Amino acid sequence: MTDAEDRKPQSDEARMAFRPPAGVEVGESESETTSEFALPDGLDVPQPPGAEPEGSAFSTPSAYSAREAPPAFTPPNGIPAVSLIKDAPWQDRMRTMLRMPVTERPALEPVHKTEEGGPAVPRVLDLTLRIGELLLAGGEGAEDVEAAMFAVCRSYGLDRCEPNVTFTLLSISYQPSLVDDPVSAARTVRRRGTDYTRLAAVFQLVDDLSDPETQISLEEAYRRLAEIRRNRHPYPTWVLTSASGLLAGAASVLVGGDLIVFVAAALGAMLGDRLAWLCAGRGLPEFYQFTAAAMPPAALGVALTVAHVDVKASAVITGGLFALLPGRALVAGVQDGLTGFYITAAARLLEVMYFFVGIVVGVLVVLYFGVQLGAQLNPEAALGSNEQPVVQIIASMLLSLTFAVLLQQERSTVLAVTLNGGVAWVVYGAMHYAGDLSPVASTAVAAGLVGLFGQLMSRYRYASALPYTTAAIGPLLPGSATYFGLLAFAQNDVDGGLTSLSKAAALAMAIAIGVNLGSEISRLFLRGAGRGRKAAKRTRGF
């Protein structure tokens, strides 16, 4: 190296800390830059005879020995097999299996294959979602919708399915085995409609698919489902409007109204129904439809008071509210909450709250202007009830009958639900008026009998329980307590309004819990209805 080269500035590479100093010789076998994880020279590490082939996460490790393995956690007598009674309705059998872990579900029975190799999995999932959509849109509970979806999948040989139902979304996943990729599909429910005739037809289709003796191909199931969708409502529009009027008139009689009150309440309810239909035709949301429907009965009651007509205006307004109270959505929401579907229950109860607020807004606007005009609305005027029990029973049965018509029920179920509503009012009247018990307890017991009888009748006909219970709770709805609360707010009596509305909320919860409890009690006595059904463990709040 010359003197000129020594005077050149050293580069960064030349000044690296890992560069050997001048005069130190590096062997040919040792790299200049070694890693701290490299094995030192002279250390021999035993190598395996061969690399283990890459396998699945579920494959047994090569070092596993069955003789040296620790004892398994299987009980000494083995895992008890779950036997399902074939004579039980498909709702109970599917509900039982849905509440089991996938590994504990009984093996799928041999099913008939109407197509070579079985139907395509995506088409079965699509059919299942379409059936679940109709059930959920018709107001069926989330647990019953999942049971129906599971029954459809098992009828076509798909046993490892997991349906999931929320308020507006249905999804289902199918995994053939633990090592296969799952197939998932989803569907959104964007439109809801009350038609229990269509609901009964869908239940009949699921029942036929679940019957091993009935051979229904996938194309036939699609055809029947299309016919159900195209089916017209059993009652024309004028019948529905007349039914809403008769319902309001019957409800006004239950709270002490006479013939004039009956006619006035019926007229106000029919005007409200037509106004709501007009708002629906203009595309307004349901909130404004309920607000518009609540105004005519309240306006008619206020007008009679201003005109000094000797009638109970409060009974007219109370009767008009009965046709608007969302009892169906309330029962479904509480049922979903009690069965563990908390997201769907919260959404349904929020929907009930919006509907109720719409009714409150419509009635309060009319009552406020009525008070400003000098209408003498006495909160004590409708506290009395009709003292003729026979008239009350007839009115309650008429209310249930018209409610069933509004729900578009099959004509074959109208008589049964009418009798169920009459029995509910007899029990309520005997406990509250004759026995002098609290209205909340009387309502809960009467609603429990409605749920019990409705569940028994639905099991007898292998159909949904909604057509037998929803209309029968009509006479128990808290129409008078709701009106008194709104009237108190209109008269600046906030404490009285909160008290009345709290009573209305308590009565509504008593109805919903009573109906659900009656249904659960009926399953305890039905043969094989609750067998194998596991409940959630008590968490003690954590």
Give the pLDDT score at 113. Answer: 45
Instruction: Give the pair of three-digit tokens for residue 166.
Output: 């929320």
- Quote the Cα angle for 380-385-388, to 5°: 155
Instruction: Give the pair of three-digit tokens for residue 502.
Output: 């709290």
For 48-55, the CB contacts below 8 A with 24+ separation are none
In Å, what is the CA distance from 245 to each residue of 182, 262, 457?
53, 9, 28
Give the pLDDT score at 112. Answer: 47
Give the pLDDT score at 33. Answer: 52
214: number of Cβ within 10 Å = 11
The pLDDT tens digits along the chain (542 residues) read 555 555 555 555 445 555 666 665 655 544 455 555 565 666 555 555 554 455 555 555 555 555 555 554 455 555 455 555 555 666 666 666 666 666 556 555 545 444 555 568 889 999 999 999 999 888 888 888 988 898 898 888 887 888 999 888 999 998 887 777 888 999 988 878 778 888 888 988 998 888 877 788 888 999 999 998 887 778 888 898 899 999 988 888 887 778 888 888 899 999 999 999 899 888 888 889 999 998 998 888 888 888 777 777 778 888 888 778 777 787 788 888 887 888 888 988 888 888 888 888 888 888 888 777 766 665 455 445 556 788 888 988 999 999 899 888 888 888 889 999 899 999 988 888 888 888 888 888 998 888 888 888 877 777 778 888 888 888 888 766 776 777 777 767 778 778 887 888 888 888 888 888 887 787 776 654 444 444 444 444 43
Give the pLDDT score at 407. Answer: 87
Helix (H, G, I), strand (E, B) or coil at 395: helix
Residue owning tokens 């590096």: 26
Helix (H, G, I), strand (E, B) or coil at 357: helix
d(CA 371, CA 392): 31
Radius of gyration of the chain (CA): 34
Going 469 to 475 to 476 to 480, the CA torsion angle's sign is: positive
Give the H or E element holding residue 58: none
d(CA 185, CA 297): 46
d(CA 168, CA 189): 5
Give the pLDDT score at 270. Answer: 92
Give the pLDDT score at 99. Answer: 61
Give the pLDDT score at 529. Answer: 47
Give the pLDDT score at 17. Answer: 54
Give the pLDDT score at 532. Answer: 43
